[in-house]
Every structure is written in C-alpha cells, then in structure tokens.
Amino acid sequence: MRVLNVSEITENIKEMCIEANHYLSEDMRCAIQTAAKQEESALGRQILEQLQENMQIAGEDMIPICQDTGMAVIFMEVGQDVHFEGGLLEEAVNEGVRQGYVGGFLRKSVVRDPIERENTKDNTPAVIHYAIVPGDKVKITVAPKGFGSENMSRVFMLKPADGLEGVKDAVLTAVEDAGPNACPPMVVGVGIGGTFEKCALLAKRALIRSIEERSRIPYVCELEKELLERINCSGIGPGGLGGTATALAVNIETYPTHIAGLPVAVNICCHVNRHAVRTI
C-alpha cells in the first residue's frame, strides 16, 4: 500500500492548470503546423499562421493561449493500492484548481448556481471524473474546457437501425451546426455506446487522447479517417472563413450498449485543445 498526502495532488493540479493554459501539447502544435502548410486557402493559411504566433507569444510571455481559460475538467486514475492522507481527495483537487487560477492570474469563469450566476471567483468547483485502476500510481489529466466549443456539443439518442450511417450523419450534423462558433480548426471527440451520460463522457475522454493516436478497433479507425476527410471538405475552414482545415482530428471512443439503443455524443474542442498529464 502506498501512502500519498493529498497536498501532492493540490500542488500538481495547481501547476497543471497554469501549464495547460499557456502551452499546447506537442501533438496539437504539430497538427496546427502541418495544417498551415497544407491549407489551400490563402486566408486560411494566414489564420493558422496567426494561431502559431499566438501560441509562441503565450509561451514566451506567460499569457494564456485563449482568454477563455475554461472550466477545469479533471480526470483522476487512482491506483487501488494508493491510500490518501492529509484530507479529502476532492477538496485537494479543488484547492489545486483554486490556487492555479488565482495564483496564475487565469480568468475565473465558474458560477456557483446555473441560474443565479454568482461567480465563485476562483474557478471552482472543477468537474472531476474518477477511475480506480490497478497499481499504486495516480494519473492526473487537467483539461480546461472553454465554452465557445463546449456549447456546440451534442448528444444523439439514435435507434440501432440507424447504424453506422446514422452515426456519421450525427457527427457531421453537429460539426456543420457548430460552424465558426467552435473556433476551428477543431478537434472532434465522439462517444458511441453506453447510456445517455456514458457516451458524453466517452466523447470528453476522446478529446484528451493524442490526436496522433488512432483507434485500435479497425472499423473505428476507418470511421475516424472518413469523418475527418468529410469534415475538412465542408468548407468551414480556419476561423470559419473558408478553407480545408476545419478539423485537426476526429477521436472516437466506444462502449457496450443496450440492444434498444445507439447513443452518440459529439464533444467539440477548438484549436486550443488543452490538456496536461502527469503521473505521480
């Protein structure tokens, strides 16, 4: 049994909130660079070059990549041989978010109640997803999610008879409806299966998977490639101003489901697909 003080969780999450909001992961950097070289529209290339310049300035001057520093979404994969001491894990996670957003001078975007709309002034609480896994390590993923793209996400409760074509139509409908509002070039996370809430979580998890990694399931891998190609033929383009780089990747996760259902969720993220990952 490994004993871990929750203060380590707090310190790491504080640093990760700041890191994720100032530096894009290497896979995202490379994807935007490649898109700029391949973009057929002159205006599209100009926008992608501006995005690269923005990323460089953000890293060098410690300015957030985007003014919307997001609602903190935290994935915690906790080894079952870990014992926490020094306080409650959830309180430690939220304290890390508080310290990261207040100390890092990041915009506070969370309201205490969805109707009354009073700002919590420290970007807490976070949205936390826990998984118990084998071992004595804790893997933390911090994924700040801006709501320009989050608001464009959809859940479709399809019929089994809709099949693969129904899934394709759902994803393409969500992307086309999002248009420029999702700040393309976007990353499209798709969850297929499970239940109403499970498919949404699958779609969210799909966004934190490296965009250089394809599904190991053959038909899903082919579906990712086909949807990316079709989305990039939509003409939406960078900034929604036309072009061939509407999406940088389509990541799909699947899960078993009920004989009577085919849930599909589409969670869209803008070109600032932020996530920081650490294992402690």
- Tell which of 110, 126, 145 closes a domain: 145
Residue 235 domain-assigned?
Answer: yes
Do 160 and 237 have their domain in common? Answer: yes
Do 98 and 206 have their domain in common? Answer: no
Are 74 and 141 in contact by the 8 Å Cβ rule? The answer is yes
Are 262 and 158 in contact by the 8 Å Cβ rule? The answer is yes
SS3 223: helix
- Tell which of 111, 145, 179 closes a domain: 145
SS3 244: coil
Residue 122 domain-assigned?
Answer: yes
Residue 92 domain-assigned?
Answer: yes
CA distances, 4 to each of 81, 87, 92 (Å): 10, 11, 12
Is the omega angle on the peptide bond into residue 125 within 30 degrees of 0, that is, cis?
Answer: yes
Q: Which two tokens stand for residue 47?
A: 């926008």
Do 99 and 179 have their domain in common? Answer: no
Do 10 and 136 have their domain in common? Answer: yes
Largest Cα–Cα distance in the chain?
A: 58
Residue type, 126: A
Are 144 and 71 in contact by the 8 Å Cβ rule? The answer is yes
Domain extent, residue 112, equals: 2-20+65-145
SS3 115: coil
Do 168 and 263 have their domain in common? Answer: yes
Residue identified by tokens 């936390």 is 128
Do 100 and 132 have their domain in common? Answer: yes
Residue 48 domain-assigned?
Answer: no
Element (H, E) at 251: strand 247-257
Residue (of 185, 127, 189, 184) closest to 153 by Cα position? 189
Beta-carbon contacts of residue 236 (< 8 Å; ≥ 6 apart): 175, 176, 179, 180, 184, 242, 243, 246
Do 130 and 159 have their domain in common? Answer: no
Q: Which two tokens stand for residue 149?
A: 């793209």
Provide the pLDDT for residue 231.
98
Residue 269 domain-assigned?
Answer: yes
53 CB-contact burial (10 Å; exposed 0-12 / middle 13-18 / buried 19+): exposed
Do 115 and 154 have their domain in common? Answer: no
Is the omega angle on the peptide bond into residue 64 within 30 degrees of 0, that is, cis?
Answer: no
Do 258 and 156 have their domain in common? Answer: yes
Could you give the number of structural domains in the chain?
Answer: 2
> Over the chain, what is the mean pLDDT?
97
Residue 115 domain-assigned?
Answer: yes
Are 34 and 48 in contact by the 8 Å Cβ rule? The answer is no
pLDDT tens digits for 80-106? 999 999 999 999 999 999 999 999 999
Do 10 and 132 have their domain in common? Answer: yes
Residue 54 domain-assigned?
Answer: no
SS3 256: strand
- Tell which of 119, 145, 171 closes a domain: 145
Low pLDDT (below 70) residues in the chain: none
pTM: 0.95
**Number of Cβ atoms within 10 Å of the Cβ of 112:** 12
Do 203 and 255 have their domain in common? Answer: yes
Residue 211 domain-assigned?
Answer: yes
Do 70 and 121 have their domain in common? Answer: yes
